[in-house]
Structure 1
């Protein structure tokens, strides 16, 4: 497994085209692996359900956008450097991206470890407006429900979100209730932000005769916080297979970082 970081040159027209379409960026990411045939690129996962290609965009600032990849094979991002990087500065020693082996880090994970984490995800659920109507997949749009979406998945993902000490909670117990809906806003070391709604065309999507296919609509949010490792094996699976839906479009990649030191 490999972890890769690429800084996008947002001033270039090619970069703006890629950033404007998750479909284009997905195709560009999958083109980084010579071993993948075009027919394999859409799934981006092994037939056995093993590690897959995951990617995520981190918008640190307007002019600082980082692309992260986790992949079973080492990528070649030469084409991305030419389209959306700094090709004049590239050389064999610094080709325009950084790739490091990821497996040694994964192997060191142990129960009880505490990490900072970052995850961009597509929190969704199914609803039925009327009795007998087929259930429809729809996005969670409020931070409370988006947070609940992640909390419901933490056990099966091999981690537990850290709870705040009572002294650090603004609300009594950190949790309030309204119409039987749990609000987690002050209970956990967890924030939800950078909500984005994107609509884009997906090649090959069919529609009734004479009509234009409806675009794919994708709502994403970014979670940040602290977690404890509860099951290293499950967490390794989460880190290499992703969490949630829309993995082909930049969702599901969970990354860990050491906790910031405090004085």
Structure 2
């Protein structure tokens, strides 16, 4: 496995086109792997995520089974002249396995995850359930908390003396107002775009809501967490959701 970081040159028209279309960016990411056929049923999972740290500081992260070639992205949305220097090809790729192998139970890490928190509802009896996005931080945090244990981690809790609401506001054992856990939700984005079908003349609309979680976690099951980090968490993985990354906790 490999972890790749690419800085997007947001001043370029090609970058703006990619950033405005998850469908186009997904196609660009998959084009970085000449050995993968996107239409094959056994295509290995490729995860990607955009981090909007500032207006002019946007990073694309990719987790992939093979090393990518992002030359086409450098030409469209990077710094092609600077990339002529072999020491600065325009992106950084590192083997991911050595890091994954070092993960151990009980250690604490900072994490970031962009996800598509959804649930299934039935508006009235007799109707089939419908997949619907969670729209409030209250429920978006709950979505992640409900998945933490089977995903190999536990969200860290704040010390009691640092909570604004000592008693917390809980539901099913979880504090959805964010005062109990070291967890924040930000950058909610409502995305809407057209997806091509096999017949190019037919397109269908796709709408989804994404949010970014930042927080601290404790590893409870290293093997399960490795699966989460390499296979993703939640839905809409083709459109920049599901990729969790870890960093040393401050």
Q: TM exceeds 0.5?
A: yes
Question: What pairs with 1:70-219 in structure 2 (closer than 5 Å)?
Answer: 70-90=63-83, 91-176=85-170, 183-204=176-197, 213-219=203-209
TM-score by length of 1: 0.90
Q: Answer whether contact 2:6 2:61 (CA < 8 A) is retained.
A: yes
Give the CA deviation at 1:44.
7.9
| C-alpha spacing 1:33/1:189, structure 2 compared with 1 (3 Å) | same
Work out whether residues 115 and 256 of structure 1, in 8 Å CA contact, stay in contact via their aligned partners in 2: yes
Compute the displacement of 1:259 (Å): 1.2
Deviations along 1:208-236, one digit per CA (max 9) or x if unpaired, are xxx97541001000000000000000000
Specify the alignment match of 1:227 in structure 2: 217
**What SS does structure 2 have at the residue aligned with 1:3?**
strand
- Superposed, which structure 2 residues align to 1:46-57 within 5 Å? 46=44, 52-57=45-50
**Separation in structure 2 between the aligned mates of residue 37 and residue 92 of structure 1, nearest angstrom:** 29
Displacement after TM superposition at 1:92 (Å):
2.2
Q: Which has the larger strand fraction? A: 2
Instruction: Evaluate the alpha carbon distance shift between residue 78 and residue 120 of structure 1 in structure 2; reply closer, same or farther with a 3 A threshold.
Output: same
The CA deviation at 1:93 is 2.2
Kept in 2: contact 1:44–1:248 (CA 8 A): no
- Give the number of equivalent residue pairs: 247
Contact kept, 8 Å, 1:15 with 1:84, in 2: the verdict is yes
Q: 2:226 aligns with which of 213, 236, 243?
A: 236
Is 1:10 equivalent to 2:10 in the alignment? yes
How many Å apart are 1:166 and its aligned residue?
A: 0.7
**Superposed displacement of residue 183, structure 1:** 3.0
Alpha-carbon distance between aligned partners in 2 of 1:8 and 1:165, rounded to the nearest angstrom: 38
Q: Do 1:44 and 1:53's aligned partners in 2 also have CA atoms closer than 8 Å?
A: no
Could you tell me how far apart the structure 1 residues matched to 2:198 and 2:141 are?
A: 31
SS at match of 1:202: strand
Structure 1 spans left out of the alignment, 5+ residues:
47-51
Task: Give the alignment's TM-score, normalised by structure 2.
Answer: 0.94
Q: Give the whole-Å Cα distance in 2 for the aligned partners of 1:2 and 1:76.
A: 12
Q: Secondary structure at the match of 2:141?
A: helix
| CA distance in 1 between partners of 2:208 and 2:198 (Å) | 15
Cα distance, 1:176 vs structure 2? 4.7
Contact 2:145–2:174 (CA<8 Å) still a contact in 1?
no
**Aligned-partner SS, 1:133:** coil
For residue 49 of structure 1, what is the aligned residue in structure 2? none
Q: CA RMSD in A?
A: 1.9
